[in-house]
Amino acid sequence: MNVAYADGVFEELVELSAYIAVENEPAAQRFLDGCETSIQLVAQNPFIGIRKNFENPQLSEVRMWRVKGFEKYLIFYLPTDPGIKILHVMHSAYDYNRIFNIE
């Protein structure tokens, strides 16, 4: 299982966990653990996620999976050979359609 990360993903994880930690530090660690578990699951099963329908045809293979234990947080990724590439991790309240259409 090969997992690659797009530029900025680690910064997104830091920002999200810091936000969670303001209210609940142990929850922030559980969030990071949930991300790791979910990413490993997706890496083992690259087509498990829901394919998203973005306007940009170059994004036709982007898939989405929820962070274990934090279902309002989403992992966006691309299946690759021989694994996956994590594109973004974000809260479901974000306008991810706009974020991807900007890219």
Query: Which CATH number goes with the domain that contains 91?
Result: 3.30.2310.20
Domains held by the chain: number: 1
pLDDT of residue 63: 95
**Model confidence band, residue 99 (pLDDT cutoffs 50, 70, 90):** confident
Torsions phi, psi for 50 (to 5 deg): -80, 130
pLDDT digits (tens, 9 = 90+) for 35-84: 999 999 999 999 999 998 877 788 889 999 999 999 999 999 999 988 99
Structural domain span for residue 20: 2-102
| pTM for this entry | 0.91
d(CA 78, CA 86): 7
